[in-house]
Structure 1
Amino acid sequence: MKPLHLIAFLLFAQGVSAQSALHHAGNMQVHNGGPNRGLGLHTNFINNAVFDQSEGLVGFYGNTTIEVSGNTPAHLWDTEIMILDRVFLQNTLHVKNNVNFVDGNFLSPKDNQAVFLNFMDQGFFTGENDQSKVTGFAAINNRSFFSFPVGDNALLRPLTFESEGATPLAICAYFDENPATPSFLPQSLDTDRKVRDIGTISEREFWIFQSDVPAKVTISWNVGSGLALIPNATAESVIVVGWLKSSKQWVVLGNTAFSGDINQGFVTSDTFLPSDYAAITFGTIPLPTDTFAVNNPTLGNYFLSPNGDGVNDFLMIDNMDESPNNSLRIFNRFGQKVFEKINYTNEFRGDSNTGSLIMSQDIGLPEGVYYYLVTLDDLNLQYTGYLFLDR
């Protein structure tokens, strides 16, 4: 057998021709020995026989696209990519040990989930970055935790999963496009087809993640994700949503953890069965259905201390004048109505004006928790909450 450095040189010489390729039909081995411990590919690789390397490096180098094809998937020990263009996988490539991302992307067909760069049982990767990653499908074997180094042509957009047990096979790819108009899927994942628990669905990006073991996923967003363009969206409102294959609609996959702000952050889903879903992406929880609640986010519970110090002396509900035809009713903890006012304008100061519990204006209602009901007839809205009366 020729020394490995000579083999690499001959392959480089072949690579100057656009039609050249290394055809493997059997009996080729790469051994781990000495400084030149591998095979450097500068041309296409056509594998038509068992190529199962238990040691050594098979690297992809050069200035133009290298295609990996053939009728038999190759099994490599170590591989690395240092290429100005990409390595196009037309056949699955299995890696047993390390994938070293230096420069250039591994690309597999995005319309074929059966072809991928596969990190086998102990496989791992190093050096992933915006310029070097997987821009098609990546896969793993027998793992319960993994972060897929996937992305688009310009950015690394990883997906991390944690499953309830080791999954024999899990695959993942990232798509920087609107799921409603996908280029590589046979159907539209219409962002208007969603359960009512979802407000807005991202039309910028999505992931495909398939596994037969229940898992949580973590995905991240950046400025390009466009979540800041969603009205009233916050980091807390971001959820993971998935296109459920059985009902053909987007459903909530949850938000068990999040970090960041609306321009950059990450979110972790609840546990779900990935293979039940065609895609996952970002969604938001619905906004309130009325502008009054949006403009008055503190509408809820109140504190009242009518002691004449000018602080919290009366119950003031902001912007009640938006609905001049309104009413306020207040009840004690026994459900007895103690105050009622049509067209309320901040009159309640802890005194009763109705029912059998009208107290002396000098004493007022006793200290405690009360329940209120606000009706805005002009806006056809109604709100309830509590107030604490302090004496």
Structure 2
Amino acid sequence: MKKKRKYSVLLLSICSALLYGQESISVANKGILSVVSDEIVSFQGTFENREEGDVTNDGTVFYFRDFINEGAYGITTNKTTSTTVFTVGERNKRKKQIAGNGVSSFYNIVFDSPVSQVAFDLKNNIDASGVVEFKDGIVQVDSTFNPTTSLSKGMFTFNKDATALYANDASHVDGFVEKVGKESFTYPLGHDGKYRPARISGSKNKRDIYLSRYVYNDQAFFEGRSHAVGVINKINTSEYWIINNAASNKSDVLVTLSWDDETTSPNVLTNPEEELHIIRWDEEAQLWVDEGGVVDMSTKEVTTIGTVKGYGIFTFGTVKKDWILDGDIVIYNLVTPDGDGKNDYFIIDHIKNYPNNKVEIYNRWGVRVYETTGYDPEGDGSSNVFKGYSEGKRVANQGNKLANGTYYYVITYEYTDANGSRTIKKAANLHLESN
């Protein structure tokens, strides 16, 4: 087998020619490589930009094999003439690596490879401006830690005003995608060959950063995350989206997710127009909480009612429609009175707004173990709340510490709105742990 020849490019300025490298040739750049506007360059073999290399692409460059950047790679400031095409030739239809420790900045990217499953293995931090076209081929992001850069090995960042086009089941990003800027954005996400985008509304600051990823069929994740606030009925346990914001962000966003008959749990799709909401895993409370839902049946999309109250893991859930009232109480059905400041008592948000209330808790045999009126009058858990002990005038084993397990609560309160005053009663399971 003939050994591949390797060229060290010391200084190369391309002014007028269309260059085609031989298929067997790999190119290693150690100097300055410039591609000017209106020029086209094709690298048929592996391209490596060494640590001392400096590449500026203001024209069009095709990469047919692996792309490795250890140095400086970018475009001329304010130039919008650049396009980079990651593709394959007829004889090398295999997964390509986009790798290296140097950050690679592009203006306009095209991914076009008919390789099934993963076509591009991203082990490089790339910054994209302009338009990113997903014609063919899945981009898989390697999120493992890179000790050399103290970043993840791979990251796909969309800069201010950058957009993603044509993403589909055969071409999308499998892994984390970062968006910088205040524009609304649709993340070109997918997993396991399923394209499942997420969209955020515009924010207020051009430096805001939001990170997202889609995960399909991760049953282990949901096994330890079954608790939910009382209004939530059923949970989509087939998929979830991660949406995180940077600590420096100055504003919050609306989140839009779409359901799919193939990937979304069918138990939450029996009546999506009336019942489907976006729910979020509250890591501190260790509960699924309701972020609301405005449903568009024509696009199969759900948007949070307002800007989200937190970030992390999002999915779909159905809600008990008769529980949804304006300014209503929010019930957290997990109590872990271990003194860590999280769910140390039975939290019922907004209950202080309805002082004419009664809270009862029963064990699995129907024996009342807790009863009070005027629950949590200060709204901060400082007084008259359930902390895992049997309390009340007509309860069994007054003052005893209760065993861990599943209990049953009944909350009765007087609710008043424009339609007048009425008595509301809500009942569901309550889980007592770490007592």
Q: Same fold (TM over 0.5)?
A: yes
* Inter-partner Cα distance in structure 2 for 1:143 and 1:30: 31
Conservation of the 8 A alpha-carbon contact between 2:239 and 2:264: no
Alpha-carbon RMSD across the aligned residues, in angstroms, is: 3.3
Partner of 2:201: 162
Summarize the Cα distance change of 1:285–1:26 in structure 2 as closer, same or farther, 3 Å threshold: farther
Q: How many residues align?
A: 278
Residue among 301, 306, 311 paired with 1:266: 301
Residue among 37, 41, 61 paired with 2:87: 61
- 3-state SS of the aligned residue for 2:256? strand
Give the partner amino acid of 1:142: G
Partner of 2:336: none
| Offset of residue 231 of structure 1 | 8.5
| Offset of residue 235 of structure 1 | 2.7
Structure 1 residue 142 and structure 2 residue 142: aligned? no
In the TM superposition, what whole-angstrom CA distance separates every residue of 1:160-183 from its partner, at most 9, and x where no partner exists? 1114413522121111123x514x
Alignment of 1:129-278 (within 5 A): 129-166=168-205, 168-178=208-218, 180-182=219-221, 190-211=224-245, 212=249, 213-230=251-268, 233-255=271-293, 257-260=294-297, 265-273=300-308, 276-278=310-312
Q: TM-score, normalised by structure 2?
A: 0.57
* Inter-partner Cα distance in structure 2 for 1:287 and 1:270: 15
* Inter-partner Cα distance in structure 1 for 2:315 and 2:29: 41
* Inter-partner Cα distance in structure 2 for 1:27 and 1:189: 53
- 3-state SS of the aligned residue for 2:220? coil
Structure 1 residue 71 and structure 2 residue 101: aligned? yes
* Inter-partner Cα distance in structure 2 for 1:137 and 1:246: 23
Conservation of the 8 A alpha-carbon contact between 1:53 and 1:76: yes
| Offset of residue 78 of structure 1 | 1.9
Partner of 2:398: none
| Offset of residue 244 of structure 1 | 1.6
Conservation of the 8 A alpha-carbon contact between 2:16 and 2:39: no
Give the partner amino acid of 1:103: D
Alignment of 1:1-391 (within 5 A): 1=12, 7-10=19-22, 12-14=23-25, 23-34=28-39, 37-54=59-76, 55-62=81-88, 63-85=93-115, 86-109=119-142, 114=152, 115-166=154-205, 168-178=208-218, 180-182=219-221, 190-211=224-245, 212=249, 213-230=251-268, 233-255=271-293, 257-260=294-297, 265-273=300-308, 276-286=310-320
* Inter-partner Cα distance in structure 1 for 2:61 and 2:140: 21
Partner of 2:369: none
Give the partner amino acid of 1:260: M
* Inter-partner Cα distance in structure 1 for 2:201 and 2:15: 44
* Inter-partner Cα distance in structure 2 for 1:209 and 1:75: 24
| Offset of residue 229 of structure 1 | 3.1
Summarize the Cα distance change of 1:164–1:56 in structure 2 as closer, same or farther, 3 Å threshold: closer
- 3-state SS of the aligned residue for 2:235? coil
* Inter-partner Cα distance in structure 1 for 2:74 and 2:269: 54
Q: TM-score, normalised by structure 1?
A: 0.63
* Inter-partner Cα distance in structure 1 for 2:68 and 2:160: 25
Conservation of the 8 A alpha-carbon contact between 1:242 and 1:279: yes
Give the partner amino acid of 1:169: I
Based on CA coordinates, which of the two structures has the bigger radius of gyration? 1
In the TM superposition, what whole-angstrom CA distance separates every residue of 1:97-135 from its partner, at most 9, and x where no partner exists? 121221112210256694322111132233322211212
Conservation of the 8 A alpha-carbon contact between 2:39 and 2:60: no
* Inter-partner Cα distance in structure 2 for 1:3 and 1:9: 16
Give the partner amino acid of 1:247: A
| Offset of residue 240 of structure 1 | 0.3
Q: Which consecutive unaligned segments of at least 5 residues does structure 1 have?
A: 15-19, 183-187, 290-370, 374-379, 381-391
Conservation of the 8 A alpha-carbon contact between 1:189 and 1:243: no
* Inter-partner Cα distance in structure 2 for 1:199 and 1:269: 17
- 3-state SS of the aligned residue for 2:183? strand
| Offset of residue 24 of structure 1 | 4.7
* Inter-partner Cα distance in structure 2 for 1:170 and 1:25: 35
Give the partner amino acid of 1:78: N
* Inter-partner Cα distance in structure 2 for 1:201 and 1:4: 59
Give the partner amino acid of 1:51: Y
Q: Which consecutive unaligned segments of at least 5 residues does structure 2 have?
A: 1-11, 42-58, 146-150, 324-420, 428-435
In the TM superposition, what whole-angstrom CA distance separates every residue of 1:286-330 from its partner, at most 9, and x where no partner exists? 3889xxxxxxxxxxxxxxxxxxxxxxxxxxxxxxxxxxxxxxxxx
Summarize the Cα distance change of 1:101–1:91 in structure 2 as closer, same or farther, 3 Å threshold: same
* Inter-partner Cα distance in structure 2 for 1:372 and 1:98: 55
| Offset of residue 137 of structure 1 | 1.6
* Inter-partner Cα distance in structure 1 for 2:274 and 2:29: 54
Conservation of the 8 A alpha-carbon contact between 2:17 and 2:40: no
